[in-house]
Amino acid sequence: MAIAHTLESYMTRKGISYEVIPHQRSHNSMETAEMARIPGDRLAKAVLLEDESGYLMAVLPSTHRLEMGALHRALNRKLGLATEREIASVFGDCDVGAIPPLGAAYGIEMVWDDSLADQSDIYFEGGSHEDLIHLRGEQFRGLMSYAKHGRFSRHV
């Protein structure tokens, strides 16, 4: 599987040029960073959450763990993790566990962690466990400019 069609269409509509970086099949984001030989702090991962208001995508570095309490307080929402079945339903053109951190491409509200704000380059899954998308940091921040952001993760 290459880059997800929905993601590719979204990036084209936004006029974003990007690089696709192939890597050996991986099973988690830290393994992906290692195989692709990129710093884990520059690999953005997506965590799909939900509550009675709908889905929310939290975007944070692969080296970080989501702090649900901090996110609950910041947003005044009681969010829980979406199930794999829900993720597969929403991201039908992506491998489970390889969803891109651009919820807007799929009509999903997003928040992103400030620890990504100063990165010169950002990498993320393109919908498969074998391809990463590489953007310049300013491109990524431009795509995230409408989304809420804050500190809701910690380095592990």
**How does pLDDT run across 31-81, given as a tens digit for each residue?**
888 888 899 999 999 999 999 999 999 999 999 999 999 999 999 999 999
* Sign of the Cα pseudo-torsion (81, 47, 2, 14, in order): positive
Q: Contact at 8 Å (CB) between 60 and 153? A: yes
Q: What is the pLDDT of residue 5?
A: 96
For residue 24, the model assigns a pLDDT of 81
User: Residue 34: its pLDDT value, please?
Assistant: 83
Average pLDDT, the chain: 94
The superfamily CATH assigns to domain 5-155 is YbaK/aminoacyl-tRNA synthetase-associated domain (3.90.960.10)
State the amino acid at position 72 in one-letter form: H
Contact 98, 47 (CB under 8 A): no
- Summarised one tens digit per residue, pLDDT across range 23-32 is 888 777 778 8
Query: CB of 113 within 8 A of CB of 103?
Result: no
| Residues 49, 81 contacting (CB under 8 angstroms) | yes
